[in-house]
């Protein structure tokens, strides 16, 4: 079942890179007591993700924060090392928190996974954005397959 507005995020674990290396963080801990603009990409270093999606959130970071967003985070079914390298290569390091969903646990738990096997990608997370307030989904924007519009930073910003 796909998550919807008004639902609490399910308890899962992400991996994020810290100065000491990869560290585990649960959804319960990460999303507690703050407002997070979370977006999901099918893959780091892929064309739309690298040219539009991540850069859009970096560009709109200040505007999102001015509207009450405490943090911007990106998730992908990938490992923390790849997401950290992508953040550095994209000038997103220390701007966007990278939450690696290495085994697709989060994508599956929120019902937003897809089978990218025909592209050699295996199971991935769909492209989406959501606003999460203290662990509760208050906005949810899921793209149609191959699309990039409603998950953009600009679209989410208009909803705030």
Say yes or no to pLDDT of 121 above 90. no
Q: Which tens digit of pLDDT belongs to each residue from 42-98?
A: 988 887 777 789 999 999 999 999 999 999 999 999 999 999 999 999 999 999 999
The active-site residue, picked from 9, 17, 36, 49, is: 49
User: Could you give the C-alpha distances from 123 to 36, 43, 120, 135, in angstroms and in order?
Assistant: 25, 11, 9, 25
Q: Does 1 map to a domain?
A: no
- Number of domains, the chain: 1
Instruction: Find the domain containing 67 and state its range.
Output: 13-159
Give counts: helices (H), strands (E), the chain.
Answer: 7, 9
- Asked if residue 29 belongs to a domain, the reply is yes
Whether the per-residue pLDDT at 34 is higher than 90: the answer is yes
CB 97 within 8 A of CB 84: no
Cα 78 from Cα 10, distance rounded (Å): 19
Question: Does 116 score more than 80 pLDDT?
Answer: no
Q: Say what percent of the chain tops pLDDT 90.
A: 82
CATH of the domain at 109: 3.40.30.10
Residue 3 domain flag:
no
Identify whether 73 is part of a domain: yes
Residue 74 is a catalytic residue: no
pTM: 0.94
Residue 5 lies in a domain: no
């Amino acid at each position: 079942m796909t998550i919807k507005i008004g639902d609490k995020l399910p308890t899962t674990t992400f991996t994020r890179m810290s100065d000491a290396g990869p560290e585990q963080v649960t959804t319960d801990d990460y999303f507690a007591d703050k407002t997070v603009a979370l977006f999901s990409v099918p893959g780091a270093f892929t064309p739309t993700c690298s040219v539009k999606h991540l850069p859009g959130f970096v560009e709109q970071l200040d505007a999102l924060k001015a509207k009450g967003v405490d943090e911007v985070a990106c998730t992908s079914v990938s490992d923390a090392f790849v997401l950290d390298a992508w953040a550095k290569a994209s000038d997103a390091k220390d701007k966007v928190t990278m939450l690696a969903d290495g085994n697709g646990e989060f994508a599956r738990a929120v019902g937003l996974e897809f089978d990218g096997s025909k592209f050699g990608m295996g199971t991935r997370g769909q492209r989406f954005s959501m606003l999460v307030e203290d662990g509760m989904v208050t906005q949810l924007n899921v793209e149609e397959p191959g699309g990039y519009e409603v998950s953009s930073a600009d679209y989410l910003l208009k909803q705030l």
